[in-house]
Structure 1
Amino acid sequence: MSAGRVDGLTRPVSASRGALARRPRTGTALTMVTVYIVLLFGIPSNLTFAALGSLGRPALLWGVLLLMWWVLARLQARAIDVTPAPQPVRWACVALLVVALISFAAAMLRGQPEGQDTTAMTSLVRLLSWGGVVLVTMDGLRTLRDVEALVGRLVVAGALLSLLGLAQFVTGRGLLGLYDLLPGFTIEQAGVTERGMFTRAAATATHPLEFSAVICAILPLAITLGVIRADAGRGRLPWNWIPAALIAFAALLSVSRSGMIGLAVAIVASLPALPAVYRGVVAVGGILAAVAAVVAVPGLFGTVVDLFSGVGSDTSTLSRTEGLARVPEFLAASPVLGVGFGTFLPRYYIFDNQWVLILLELGVLGLVAFAAVVLTATWSAVSAVRRSPFADVAALGRGVAASLVTSVVLFAFFDGLSFAMSAGAFFLLVGLAAAVRAVGYADARIGVDWLRAARGAPLRARARAAAAAAAGAAA
């Protein structure tokens, strides 16, 4: 593997020149991360290599491979190849890993119940796998074409996941029996669950709550991509919005309070990022989708109303409320470093709150480090709006930021990092936010007059402007 052929070692490319860039070669970072998306969403989260146990999830193993690939690429890099774009996300992730390692060491010195040390080591491998996804996505996607392509593939994965969820809702079946035939794999068939008289779809996720959280986090990207493609004149207008419509409809049929909250947060977070002409379209489209769901599924409206009206007596809500009162009790043993990442198991207590779980497992330092990852990733996505003069780069920055906000809000309603799909999707969004920042940073470094003149121009017009500028420079 030569350094010149690794996307992660090249300088970030401005959106203007990225518009003219060739499609990435096979084996580049875009391809590697795309494989991760396929493994994360296309294979059931509870399917593993039998010989590896809990470490045998294909997406987890691919994330570790991505980390090794990134390290090898860095070792072969020349100083002039390394991206000059500062990435605060990188240091936030390093801080989180350092806190997790120190917490792990402290937990091992205290001693652990039988089998729990293995759980702690497995959790560290998961953290390294997520780090590989962040690093390759952040340092490997160097052009606007790459970033937009990855967003498009993530939206397609979300739409297909939603389609499978809708099929499960209609048929009342898991529809994943084909995976039982794979040799060397084991899969825990939990089957579909029900709430009221409705099936709670999970698609390939482990739990319906994880399914609804993931598709809600992808919804802002689907809305953003619809706007970008409509503005660029690519495809007919209705086709651009089909993925967003599928995701929104599946979230409405999730029969989940968290799913409804996630849907509302995703739409509200997306609206300020949209051009004024599209805000009404998205708002009206959301209302029409809700009406269509209520009309198409008799009894759905009453079930959803009952979910929220009976929240005061709901057992899961009461468990969450009582759990918050017990946090000081569990935290007292190690408030600074926590009990160790991944070691606070459900047999002790189920909090259904990732923020609380981070506090208990990694202590106050870990909570601060995780909050730093969230804040720096969101800021990185938003900074592209300020740095780049191009409308589509700014739209992508706002869309990724809205997806991150949706994801971390839903972390307050379930332990998202305990589920493979929701955790992988979150760290993929973190890396994507940094990649958008890199493109915006490259745009800000150009500083030529034609770049300012192209403000707001669609991709094809920008490509023509870039070609004209290059021809003038050559002359």
Structure 2
Amino acid sequence: MGKHLRVEPALRPTALIDAPTQFGYGNQGTPLLLRATAAACFIFPSNMVLEPLGAAGYVAHVLALLVFALWTTSVMFGLHQTIDREHPGRAVLAALFVVSCASYAAMYVGISGGSTDATRASADRWMLLMVASSGIVLMTTETTRTVDAAMQLVRALLFGAVFCSLVAAYQFVAHADPMAWFQGLMPGFKDNGGNQPFQERGSFLRVAGSTFHPIELGVIASMLLPLALWRALYDHTGRKWMHWAGTGLIVFAIAATISRSAVLGVLTVAFVFLPFLPSRSRQWTVLGFLGAAVLLFLAVPGFVATLFGTVTAGTADTSITARLEDYPRVEAMMSARPWLGIGPGAYLTRNAIEVLDNQYLKTIVEMGVPGFLALLAYMVVPGIAAWTAAFKAKAERLKTLAGAVAASCLVAAPASAAFDFLGFPVVALIYPFCVGLSGTVWLLVADERRTSRPTTNRQGAHPAESERQP
């Protein structure tokens, strides 16, 4: 009788989820610096800056630059090996970075026309944002290599988001800003201004929480809502009721901004994420949102009517007509410099009428058509990649995570048409975390699909067949 050929059993589809070091990319968790950066985006007010660094010197931005420095140093000294497989998020970020560098160089050598100290300083801040975003995206994808590690990072993001939502709830009820008290506890920092914690809309004060502006809070809260739902469903640490209470606070923060962009974000989340929820969870989620709407209607008279009126105002709203009037002006500026624009971040305004409340229009002016295409890819491709991964994933926990990440990323695409998305400091750093998680789920699903394929013996026979051979 011949000897049986030894055949290793195929790895389970969930092997990568259970074993952090299965393929050599894993770790025991995301780095503390990365998680601290995620929470700092919300906890430390971004209008408080270190004076020598100027507007780029707020805490979260400095930490993000340290993340990039840590990643670069680790790679240079061989302490960390970069992932040898491409993922769409990294590719589109690289494209935006390259176009930014080309436009930046053109501005400094005079190809883009004249520049001033102010426009050059603004361009410098844009390039620092690109560096900080790159650090977050790269570190997130390359260290968050299991679903458990993703849960760690999501907890850090939601810790900051719940803190911000608590601030927003206090602002909405008390009409006072507790972040003003917090700023007094930051020695060495100065108030750089620009933040708007309150803004009137109808008979209500829309609030910003610990972010820069109510619109920014509404977009961020809608971005993180699917991740909050995923965490509430699958996080077995801590108390379940606290996870759901945090999710409820994020929903309240969305409503308290009385923002069209936030409503659009919630609709995007519903379209993208709900199909990937388990059927029972999907039913309870829909019922929960309906219950929240009824509760707001009963508890805050006139609130739902104001929100509905804001969403359906159309061209009767002066903010919408002002945005429509931007297009002829942008077309003229873009036609003058279609390829490299006037320089990244170099469009500065003298009055509110000239503000471009549209990141796509602002980018096409500053970096031309290539910049617009790169930005569009940066805002759309990571979400599509995560959505594709969600369809292909087999393990429920991973599938739901991929769907949540897809929804988080895709909120950014329509939001960028409603305001200058990357000009707001908190959302500009939160989005790279979503892009990084898009790379994580893309690679996790690719590994899951690879390991779930049946292995063959050296003669090409299926394992079951080889065991029957004499």
1:16 is matched by which residue type in structure 2? A
Q: 1:388 to 1:268 in 2, by over 3 A?
A: closer
SS at match of 1:199: strand
Partner of 1:3: none
1:97 is matched by which residue type in structure 2? F
Query: Which one of 389, 394, 414 corresponds to residue 389 of structure 1?
Result: 394
Partner of 1:329: 332
Partner of 1:135: 138
Q: Is the 8 A contact 2:51 2:57 kept in 1?
A: yes
Partner of 1:45: 46
Q: Give the 5 Å matches for 1:390-469.
A: 390-447=395-452
TM-score between the two structures when normalised by the length of structure 1: 0.84
- Listed one character per residue, the Cα deviations across residues 94-131 of structure 1 (whole Å, up to 9, x for unaligned) are 11111111111112213313421121112111111111
Percent of aligned pairs sharing the same letter: 28
The root-mean-square deviation of aligned C-alpha atoms, in Å, is 2.5
Quick one: distance in 2 between partners of 1:205 and 1:84? 36
Q: Is the 8 A contact 2:197 2:213 kept in 1?
A: no
Determine whether 1:313 maps to 2:319: no
Residues 54-63 or 380-389, more deviating: 380-389
Partner of 2:77: 76
- Listed one character per residue, the Cα deviations across residues 282-341 of structure 1 (whole Å, up to 9, x for unaligned) are 111111101111111112133223324543222211100111232211211211222211
The alignment covers a number of residue pairs equal to: 432
Query: Which one of 251, 260, 264 corresponds to residue 261 of structure 1?
Result: 264
SS at match of 2:325: helix
Contiguous gaps of at least 5 residues in structure 1: 1-12, 451-475
Partner of 1:464: none
1:392 is matched by which residue type in structure 2? R
2:220 is matched by which residue type in structure 1? V
Quick one: distance in 2 between partners of 1:41 and 1:417? 16
Query: Which one of 172, 182, 186 corresponds to residue 182 of structure 1?
Result: 186
Q: Is the 8 A contact 2:16 2:448 kept in 1?
A: no
Partner of 2:3: none
Quick one: distance in 1 between partners of 2:295 and 2:47? 33
Partner of 2:88: 88
Partner of 1:205: 211
Quick one: distance in 2 between partners of 1:404 and 1:88? 13
Q: Is the 8 A contact 2:389 2:445 kept in 1?
A: yes
1:281 is matched by which residue type in structure 2? W
Q: Is the 8 A contact 1:200 1:255 kept in 2?
A: yes
- Listed one character per residue, the Cα deviations across residues 219-258 of structure 1 (whole Å, up to 9, x for unaligned) are 11112223334xxx77776554322222112212222222
Partner of 1:246: 249
Give the CA deviation at 1:34: 0.5
Quick one: distance in 2 between partners of 1:104 and 1:84? 29
2:244 is matched by which residue type in structure 1? W
Quick one: distance in 1 between partners of 2:52 and 2:238? 47
Partner of 1:7: none
Quick one: distance in 2 between partners of 1:334 and 1:18? 49
Q: 1:55 to 1:111 in 2, by over 3 A?
A: same
Partner of 1:5: none
2:342 is matched by which residue type in structure 1? V
Give the CA deviation at 1:72: 1.4
Contiguous gaps of at least 5 residues in structure 2: 1-11, 456-470
Q: Is the 8 A contact 2:196 2:208 kept in 1?
A: no
Give the CA deviation at 1:202: 0.8
Q: Give the 5 Å matches for 1:107-126.
A: 107-108=107-108, 109=110, 110-126=113-129
Partner of 1:272: 275
Q: 1:227 to 1:89 in 2, by over 3 A?
A: same
Determine whether 1:19 maps to 2:15: no
Quick one: distance in 2 between partners of 1:329 and 1:239? 53
Larger Rg over CA atoms: 2
Q: 1:32 to 1:114 in 2, by over 3 A?
A: closer
Quick one: distance in 2 between partners of 1:297 and 1:382? 36
SS at match of 1:336: coil
Q: Is the 8 A contact 2:27 2:145 kept in 1?
A: no
Q: Is the 8 A contact 2:13 2:395 kept in 1?
A: no
Q: Is the 8 A contact 1:14 1:439 kept in 2?
A: no
Quick one: distance in 2 between partners of 1:315 and 1:244? 33
SS at match of 1:332: helix
SS at match of 2:269: helix
Give the CA deviation at 1:165: 0.5
SS at match of 1:181: coil
Partner of 2:293: 290
Quick one: distance in 2 between partners of 1:283 and 1:200? 25
Quick one: distance in 2 between partners of 1:350 and 1:365? 22
Q: 1:237 to 1:128 in 2, by over 3 A?
A: closer
Quick one: distance in 1 between partners of 2:391 and 2:319? 42
